[in-house]
Chain A
Amino acid sequence: MPDMSLFFDLGVVGLRIILPLYAIVIVYQCYAAMRRRRRPEKPLVSLYNTRTGGMLPVVFWENSIGRSRSSDIVVSDPSVSRNHCVLLRRKAGWFITDVGSLSGTFVNGVKVTGRAQVLIDDIITIGTTNYQFRRGDDFQSPLRSSWFFSKVSDKPAIKAWKLMLMVTLFHFFMAAEAMFWNDGTNVYSPLILFFALAAVEWGFFSVSYFALRRVNFELEALGLFLTGVGVMLLVRQVERSAYVQLIAAGIGIAIYCAIIKFIEDPDKVNKLRLPLMIAAVVMLSASIVLGKVTNGAANWVYIGSISFQPSEFVKTIFIFIGASALDTLQTKKNLIELIVFSVVCVGLLALMGDFGTALIFFVTFLLIAFMRSGDFKTIILAVAAAVFGVIIVLWYKPYVANRFSAWRHVWEHAQDTGGYQQVRVLTYTAAGGLFGVGIGNGYFKQYFASESDLVFALCAEEMGVIVAIVLALSVALLMIYARAITTRCRSTFYSISACCAAGLLVVQLSLNIFGATDILPLTGVTFPFVSCGGSSVISCWGLLAFIKAADERTYSLKR
């Protein structure tokens, strides 16, 4: 009988080479799909200046009107305040809100208090200028569109089901590779896991396609792709965790759908801020009181046999609290409420010893604060306060610094806790080469936290550094997407929450990857979607919901 080992070897090596290229294609297709199938850029309504006869296009769902050059609609009239009023579109029609102007805003001669509805042909008086409210079609000149979106005439995006098929096939390849590296008794377990994963993926797809009748699925496909990679990586490590992770992903997807439904009306959510803030503080306090110290941080709560990290869920609430609609943003300018809430959250996390999450919250706070106020002074002040706080902590608790003393010197600490994990991350990342040693064939999986905080190395060793970097970039690119759709959101509530959710994911990703590879100090946070950890994957899907909600089609278009 001829020697078949060369044949098998070639097959497995072939698969290993295909996977990274295939991962690139999938991520490319997801983003290509996000760029396509948009409505053409044209005004929603327009404003006709009754005196000059000029026509102003109204292109956003929420528009600030004022003398300030950064207003969405600039009225150069000395009697108009810098930020005069906000014109916004809701389900019930168009509304105008005065945001504390000196001279007031009038609709058909009646002074606006609170939100006043505006109908076609109504006369809006701002300062001494009168505008007639007209349909969007009345404005004819073409408008500029963001570079991110392809032209309407370009070929349509890949069909959602085809994209899903590609994602599923990728996971199947992973299963096939894992089957090759077996111990004789568990040949088919990756295949069984794969079928369970495929069932979740296609179940979600069916719900989205048939029940919710969503027009697009690329964001979900990307989330499923990342989640699935995380699940399949576990099959040759702790198989049970793979199923726990899959169940958590299912819960995460359910929460994803629930959040999207929950924040459908950007005005109603405002009322829920206070209860949610209290819930967040209660949850964080609970983990201090009930939490058990695990790996230096008391951030786990155990209820019966189920354990979870409340701080993960608070991330979603944090984003929610931070965002609001444009008229609220312009009337209620002070950040005191947000600052107090952030200080409490960051403080509680620091008390738990979870410095990684505390840092994520702090940076996210900076992002939210800046997105809301545009005020650099606040940012600088906050950073200064934080630096001061850190110095005080180090003054009174110098041992905290010891945790980070090995930073940039990990090779000198290869055998002590300072650098033990990082040097192994580097070694096994390099050992995998560009294409990895095969799923289940690595050794890094034996190390503690290899499936969670250090998953970058697990992925790089077994699937190659290309896949690991592609996964990382695919998460980072969410930010580019969130920014591209910023002005096309139905409310600043969505634009701010989407950008900050994406920002939070990027910060978390940076701490995860750069912490593990000794570019930053190791703090122990998870790789979004991929790391094993139920709470983490649920919170990632929760954050993804904000980005999905920012897409105007999510609510306004049905298939």
Chain B
Amino acid sequence: MTSYAIEAEGLQKSFGETKALKGVDLYAAPGTVHAVLGPNGAGKTTSVRILATLTKADAGWARIGGYDVAKQAEKVRATIGLTGQYASVDEDLTGTENLELIGRLLDLSKRDARARAAELLEWFDLTEAAKRSAKTYSGGMRRRLDLAASLVGRPAVIFLDEPTTGLDPAKREDMWGVVRRLVAEGSTVMLTTQYLEEADALADEVTVIDRGQVIAHDTPLGLKRVVGGQRLTVQPLDPARLAEAAALLQQVSGNKAESPRTGVVSVPVKDDAALTEAVARLSAAGIGVTELSLHLPSLDEVFFSLVGRRAGDDRPAAQTPGDRTPGDKTPADQTPGERADTESSTPVAV
């Protein structure tokens, strides 16, 4: 029998008239990272809240480390650590006091609570700010303190609800490092994210949910196989040379170039070797560029491939190709580092 660290079947939840979850199944093996990928309002947070015993499901069941979230909530709470979407630290307390309080609530002795707090503050690079009240912390520091607070009890299962939303790319890398270390130490991590890039970087398996339903469950590789690999995007300095650049990219990749927005061409490529070649050819042809980037298919593109419509768009995209514009982004998702991931790609004749 396979034992899962996290397993949930048929989770349903309504808030008034709104059906937030319409039967979600989730599984994660011990010692793995499981990413729950989906746009805003897909049901990611609701799923995590049910698994973390904060919300009761209307139907379905879930077990964490073998404990039923509804019937053995206290056992589940002793097993998990939860870091919410909004940093839930006490702003009036210092970093140390926040962590020591959690330690005391987890029945650590005073001395152990203090030692664990110091250890975590050190790990999360907060030692210097340890004696300052958390209201003086930057957003990134609060996130780290919040994460540290969820790790005080060395939980076997850790839920991270959009841990990197709003963080700049460097801070995001740091957070990824933390997740990798947690898994290396044996924990199971379930994280929700809006970024395919993040799921790809961290997850062993990915569940894609949309409007309260699972629409795909696969490894990141498997998902990308559905969607297609990386894309190379070029914006020539001189818009008049767009067609020339497009022809060049087609030669490099062997794929047809598309124009996701005015003045930009992009092609699917097999690996990053294409980038070097494209740079060499563009410079040989004397085409100056204002943008040259290699990126993974965006969540938008995953959705487009899986359900035939844009994330957050109610219309089936296949029927209304002309309506898709570069403005078709899910709002509030945009961090500076994510720009390249959210370009739509309307095919045009180049």
B is bound to A: no
Q: Which residue numbers of B lie inside 8 Å of A, CB to CB?
A: none
Binding site for B on A (CB under 8 A): none
